[in-house]
Amino acid sequence: LEGKPITGSALHETVKYLCQKFNVPFQEIVDTSAENQFLQEVQQFLLTLVKKGNQTLKELIQTVSKEPIVQLLKTKQWLDSVDKFQLGTILKTKTPSGRIKEICDYLNLDLNDLKGNLIIPLFDAKGLFGIQIRRIEGEPKYKTYLASIKKKLFNLDRIDPSKPVYLVEGASSVLTLNSKQVNNVVATLGNHFTESDYEALVRRKVRQIVVVFDNDSGGDQGRRAVCDVCSPKLDIEVIFALLEEYNDPGDYVIAGKKLQDLKVLSLWDYLKLTSQKRNLFIYLATQDDLVKKEKLVADLTKYLHATKQTILDEAKKYEKTPVSTIEALQEKESLIETINIYEKWAWSRGQLLGLSSYKCFDTYLDGLQNGMILVSSPPNQGKSALCISLALEILKKNRDVYIVYLTIDDSILITLSRFLANISGLPINTVANPKFKIMQNPTLTDEQKKSYMMKREEALEYLRDKVSLFNLKDATHGYTIEYLQRLLETTKSLFRDKSLVIVVDNLHKLRSERYARSDKIMVDLVSNNLKLLSSLYQCPLIATAEVTKQSIQMGDTSAAAMKETVSLQYDANLILTIVTKQVIHNRLKLVDVVVNKNKLSTFIGKLPFRFSPELSKMEEEDLTEESIQ
């Protein structure tokens, strides 16, 4: 499925894409929902705005030639683009109200941003999908407002796909290049190049793109995104044209230069220039022309100073071959094979279906089972403490496990301090500052200092002893779902014989390298991919989740209290909510871990725990009837 989502709201687009790719007939039902009607109103509002703006700009050009926006058009040589691209401006605005205010809020559009600035309509074959504002003064110079859910390529409907297509970042570069009769150009509207952009080019039957991104750090990121998307594909030839003395292609052609004179590199040569070893092997493994492949192997052997066999072995890891007849026959027998695997798995299980941790988890949840497990609560109520304590319980009670712990909420130093406090029984601030909190602390006796230092050193030694079972990363290493995927690929290749456990603290701060128009869409994307990772590696994936301010105020402890709830509730196999019952003192709270959703066992209810904030520790209460009384 080329990494496409197969759960949640994105399933529809994936099925549609597959039908188009394999020429499977399908019929789309027109969406008459309130949401779709609203999106149509948004598009109509923008169309009206574009029409009035275009009329206003034409009048200014005829009557007020010294207006700043007219001077900009002359300087950038965009006068001929006013009609062709329906450029416009607005001189007066009113405070929006009613439906117009709802539309502006949806677009995150301040109408005052339009006054005196250039409006660039964003059209494709289906119509207007957004606008981009080019400020006359101030930063940011460009702002984009999209009526559609996802970003599209600008000017794609005007190109001739039989000729090379220039790929640039901004809509303004398209205008400038068109003024110089360079018409076969599309813009990514930023330095993001995505799978959807590539698919749009393929659907237009583009055979070659020439990437002319800006000569800055943003352009470098954009070129890297092009490499990541295009290296495993053969549909389009990719060439990089490098701006070495100018910032963007518009400035280059205004200076009288020609794009044909730029230094160009093939995708392969650019990957070598920028030392993208992984993409080099992916590109090599993708080739189906044996003669070309042999030449690339020879070239890579020289480039990496490696043997031919080493190159071939590494490239084999990334190979994707067409389905053979034997594979097709095997697919027909796949259900029988699945049943055989299931029986082997079922009869080889231990007493628990999952990993052992807390006694109550073992008893009521049948262990920590494979799947996506969410832990939610208001701030400072023990989410991180539960994750840390769970990780240590798993390490203590299971063999052949490996824990990948990604903390995005806090730095690795703070999280490590919490682990040490949990293990040693010393407060977090004490283990984090032994010089002043222990050795130079006048309130401690020499015996106490010695005891504290011994406990701290024993905790450190315990973690040092677990380096082959445990890895701790924070946001400085990476904070995207793609980074986590790469980390897990590396981990699994190094520890093939161990069962993975993944911990992410916190899910709402995990991002994606893919473009997402809103936080909700980003959470959907992250949630879908975390679910897939837990399935792919057949492991428990524990992630903390934030709750809404409204739910905190209302005391809502249900699964619906989480931010961006729908996709999280849908994807999660187990949802745990931490609820404070009683504050004994500032060092101890009695809490319930409420099991709100459980697809792994039959238990729904409350499990009592003790939470020690200064130790970042969760300990289960004794579950005997006598102690409960």
Q: What is the side-by-side strand order in the sheet with 371-376?
A: 470-474, 401-407, 499-505, 540-545, 371-376, 574-585, 588-598, 605-612, 617-620
Does 317 score more than 80 pLDDT?
yes
For residues 599-623, average pLDDT: 90
Q: What is the pLDDT at residue 333?
A: 56
Q: 0.85 exceeded by the pTM?
A: no
Find all residues with CB under 8 Å of 410, minimum gap 6, and list them. 384, 418, 474, 505
φ, ψ of residue 432 to 5 degrees: the values are -80, -15
pLDDT tier for residue 325 given thresholds of 50, 70 and 90? very low
Cα–Cα distances (Å) from 360 to 41, 596, 607, in that order, read: 53, 16, 7
For residues 583-593, average pLDDT: 87
Does 16 score more than 80 pLDDT?
yes
> Higher pLDDT residue, 493 or 220?
220
The C-alpha torsion from 322 through 325 and 331 to 336, rounded to 10°, is -150
Residue-averaged pLDDT of the chain: 86
- In percent, how much of the chain has pLDDT > 90? 48
Note the pLDDT tens digit of each residue in 36-60: 788 888 889 999 999 999 999 999 9
For residues 323-337, average pLDDT: 50
Q: What is the pLDDT at residue 431?
A: 93
Does 627 score more than 50 pLDDT?
no
Q: What is the side-by-side strand order in the sheet with 185-187?
A: 185-187, 165-168, 208-211, 237-242, 263-266
Question: Read out DSSP for 358-397?
Answer: SHHHHHHHSSB-SEEEEEE-STTSSHHHHHHHHHHHHHHH
Note the pLDDT tens digit of each residue in 207-249: 999 999 999 888 999 999 999 999 998 889 999 999 988 888 9
Does 119 score more than 90 pLDDT?
yes
> Higher pLDDT residue, 31 or 315?
315
pLDDT tier for residue 88 given thresholds of 50, 70 and 90? very high
Q: What is the pLDDT at residue 148?
A: 72
SS3 311: helix
Tokens found for residue 431: 């283990």
Does 388 score more than 90 pLDDT?
yes
Q: What is the pLDDT at residue 628?
A: 38
Note the pLDDT tens digit of each residue in 495-509: 888 899 999 998 889
pLDDT tier for residue 321 given thresholds of 50, 70 and 90? low
Does 81 score more than 50 pLDDT?
yes
pLDDT tier for residue 415 given thresholds of 50, 70 and 90? very high
Residue 582's identity, in one-letter code, is Q
Residue 219 and residue 222: Cα distance in Å, rounded? Answer: 5
pLDDT tier for residue 327 given thresholds of 50, 70 and 90? very low
Q: What is the pLDDT at residue 244?
A: 80
Q: What is the pLDDT at residue 349?
A: 56
Note the pLDDT tens digit of each residue in 138-192: 888 888 888 876 778 999 988 999 999 999 998 999 999 999 999 999 999 988 8
Find all residues with CB under 8 Å of 425, minimum gap 6, and list them. 455, 615
For residues 272-280, average pLDDT: 93
pLDDT tier for residue 350 given thresholds of 50, 70 and 90? low
Does 458 score more than 80 pLDDT?
yes
Q: What is the pLDDT at residue 5?
A: 59
Does 348 score more than 70 pLDDT?
no
Question: Residue 71's CB: how many other CB atoms inside 10 A?
Answer: 12
For residues 457-482, average pLDDT: 91
Choice among 195-199, 278-282, 572-576 with the minimum mean pLDDT:
195-199
> Domain spans of the chain?
31-149, 282-316, 359-628
Tokens found for residue 413: 């130093």
Q: What is the pLDDT at residue 246?
A: 80
- The helix (H) or strand (E) run that includes residue 338 is helix 334-347
Q: What is the pLDDT at residue 4?
A: 64
Q: What is the pLDDT at residue 322?
A: 46
pLDDT tier for residue 475 given thresholds of 50, 70 and 90? very high
pLDDT tier for residue 626 given thresholds of 50, 70 and 90? very low
For residues 397-423, average pLDDT: 93
What CATH class is the domain 31-149? alpha beta
Q: What is the pLDDT at residue 334?
A: 60
Does 528 score more than 50 pLDDT?
yes
Tokens found for residue 295: 């030449």
Report, at the CATH architecture level, how domain 359-628 is classified: 3-Layer(aba) Sandwich (3.40)
Q: What is the pLDDT at residue 562?
A: 79
Question: Read out DSSP for 105-161?
Answer: HHHT--GGGGBTSEEEEEEETTEEEEEEEE-SSSSSSEEEEESSSS---BTGGG--T
Q: What is the pLDDT at residue 456?
A: 94
Q: What is the pLDDT at residue 342?
A: 65
